[in-house]
Chains A and B, each alone.
Chain A
Amino acid sequence: EAGVVQSPRYKIIEKKQPVAFWCNPISGHNTLYWYRQNLGQGPELLIRYENEEAVDDSQLPKDRFSAERLKGVDSTLKIQPAELGDSAVYLCASSRGSGKRDTQYFGPGTRLTVL
């Protein structure tokens, strides 16, 4: 079974530029998560999808961040414009559902550097 796929793995941009990250979850997984992991810290949830519906986006900075999950499969996270403080690793995870026994499987992440 293929794992969670993310691209690109690394991205370096100038501040104020836009950037987008792509995630393809494990086949059959209805729940998809985007996390941000700052250096030396644990991941923090940005947004959670149940199929194509965003059911928890309370931690997503909506002034510059946006996300979509068209057709309830793969997802894109966008930042426009990027700021220096956005430098982090962006992790995507998926699970079959959101029940307590549904394990989250993580992708390798996209490391973003904003100069």
Chain B
Amino acid sequence: AQSVTQPDIHITVSEGASLELRCNYSYGATPYLFWYVQSPGQGLQLLLKYFSGDTLVQGIKGFEAEFKRSQSSFNLRKPSVHWSDAAEYFCAVGLKTSYDKVIFGPGTSLSVIP
């Protein structure tokens, strides 16, 4: 069965430090991959997505993610975190058999220390 795992339930980083959020998926083929962010009291916002081609994907708010087929991973990175980045981050898999069938991971909560 298809699944998405985010090994880190909660991460704390200092403002200005670099960030990497991990995501692994289980799927028989190359899926479509997404990262969403959810700020308190707000809906999910798409940060970036990967369909094919260049495995390094640039997104909004200075985020990027790299697809590594050999590791079944799609880790999210940011070189310098801002206090406003504190939020819940969700990795998601879009199944090719039905694109809009998106499966979300459990999320990683990010705290930023001033």
Binding site for B on A (CB under 8 A): 3-4, 31, 33, 40-45, 48, 56, 91, 93, 95, 98-109
**Total contacting residues, chain B, CB less than 8 A:** 25
Q: How far is the CB of B104 from chain A (nearest CB, A)?
A: 3
Contact (Cβ within 8 A) B100 A91: no
Contact (Cβ within 8 A) B106 A41: yes
Q: How far is the CB of B103 from chain A (nearest CB, A)?
A: 8
Q: How far is the CB of A44 from chain B (nearest CB, A)?
A: 7
Q: Per DSSP, are chain A's interface residues mostly helix, strand or loop, or mixed?
A: loop
Smallest CB gap from B43: residue in A? A106
- Residues of chain B lying within 8 A (CB to CB) of residue A106: 36, 43-45
Contact (Cβ within 8 A) B43 A3: yes
Q: Give A93 to B106 CA distance when docked, in angstroms.
A: 18
Binding site for A on B (CB under 8 A): 4, 9, 32, 36, 41-46, 49, 51, 90, 92, 94, 98-107
Q: Give A3 to B90 CA distance when docked, in angstroms.
A: 20
Contact (Cβ within 8 A) B94 A100: yes
Q: How far is the CB of B31 from chain A (nearest CB, A)?
A: 11
Q: How far is the CB of B48 from chain A (nearest CB, A)?
A: 11
